[in-house]
Amino acid sequence: MSELFGTLPDGTPVHVWTLERAGTRVRILSYGGIVQSLEVPDRDGRPGDVVLGFADLDGYLTHPGPYLGALVGRYANRIAGGRFPLGELTYALEPNTPPNSLHGGERGFDKRVWDVTPVEHGVRLSRVSPHGEEGFPGRLEVSATYTLDASGALRIAYEATTDEPTVVNLTNHSYFDLGGTGGTGGHELRIAASRYTPVDADLIPTGVLEDVTGTRFDFRAARKVGTGYDHNFVLDKGVTQAVEEVAELHDPGSGRVLTVATTEPGMQLYTADHLEAPFAPGDGVALETQHFPDSPNRPEFPSTELRPDAVYRSTTVYAFSTR
């Protein structure tokens, strides 16, 4: 079902769509494809919201920086210098985190109103990103389909096509707090990644794929998340056609367990150290499935190029259980 969530300053209405199945209840906004709330039961069967979100549209308009729950694109994460080569041309993007471009620019997909169509057990969000939007080439027809499966898992399936070569990297930017009380330092995390991409002072990858052994980046065995992470992990499985499990987040207090499965080769772990009021640093953990940051400038990384004869497809599944 859908209802009015608010109205943008230009008068555009924003709706919220509610999906319920197998104990999971998720609310999705037409603005930014935002996962506004996601309720699942704890070990005692009590439902609780496990993502950070605002109660009204004004919260998202006033505090856009954290990208709470948003559908991020055209290019999730950072592009160095706000520029990248493609073919014989170099494209200049909006350097919204000077000197770099972050999450698609000043008005990325997270700040656009999407068309919403009901589908079986979910909704399909779609829009056309015109050639030149935020500096990206090509007319991009893009969709994100949110569904709940029979177990209550949330599946997000992205597709895109273009009329000329471009780059695409989409993700969801939800911050998880499985206890639903704020503060995730006690959460335990496991990531199936033997390497990560070290970054420079501007959080741009150096190009090295560093072994996690003996470092604070080794989450191959579950341990407390802690703080101080805004890094891409190189998933051992690489790019896959079908989703494969890559991470597990567990809150011992509530017993809730989040399992992440994806087709993507990377996952950004962000421990929200820079969240500001009304939230606090460390109130959530973002697990952003993705291709690597700055891939358009790094030919040694898995390619994010999309050509007119191809279809971009990416799927991530967030499954919930207790123990």
What tens-digit pLDDT sequence spans the chain (323 residues)?
Answer: 899 999 999 999 999 999 999 999 999 999 999 999 999 999 999 999 999 999 999 999 999 999 999 999 999 999 999 999 999 999 999 899 999 999 999 999 999 999 999 999 999 999 999 999 999 999 999 999 999 999 999 999 999 999 999 999 999 999 999 998 878 989 999 999 999 999 999 999 999 999 999 999 999 999 999 999 999 999 999 999 999 999 999 999 999 999 999 999 999 999 999 999 999 999 999 999 999 999 999 999 999 999 999 999 999 999 999 99
Q: Confirm or deny that 44 is annotated as ligand binding.
A: no
Query: pTM score, two decimals?
Result: 0.97
Q: Are 92 and 80 in contact (CB under 8 A)?
A: no
Q: Choose the catalytic residue: 173, 187, 231, 250.
A: 173
Q: Choose the catalytic residue: 187, 250, 288, 291.
A: 288
Q: Confirm or deny that 77 is annotated as ligand binding.
A: yes
Q: Confirm or deny that 323 is annotated as ligand binding.
A: no
Q: Report d(CA 135, CA 122) in Å as an integer.
A: 32
- Looking up tokens 């549209």, which residue turns up? 57
How is 248-283 classified by DSSP, letter by letter? Answer: EEE-TTT-EEEEEEES-SEEEEE--TT--TTS-TTS
Q: What is the pLDDT of residue 124?
A: 98
Category of 315 on φ-ψ map: left (φ > 0), alpha (ψ -120 to 50) or beta? beta
Active site residue 187: no
Q: Confirm or deny that 78 is annotated as ligand binding.
A: yes
Nearest to 5 by CA among 84, 103, 116, 109: 116
Q: Please, what are the domains in the chain?
A: 2-322 (2.70.98.10)
Active site residue 288: yes
Q: Report d(CA 184, CA 247) in Å as an integer.
A: 16
Q: What is the pLDDT of residue 183?
A: 83
Q: Confirm or deny that 273 is annotated as ligand binding.
A: no
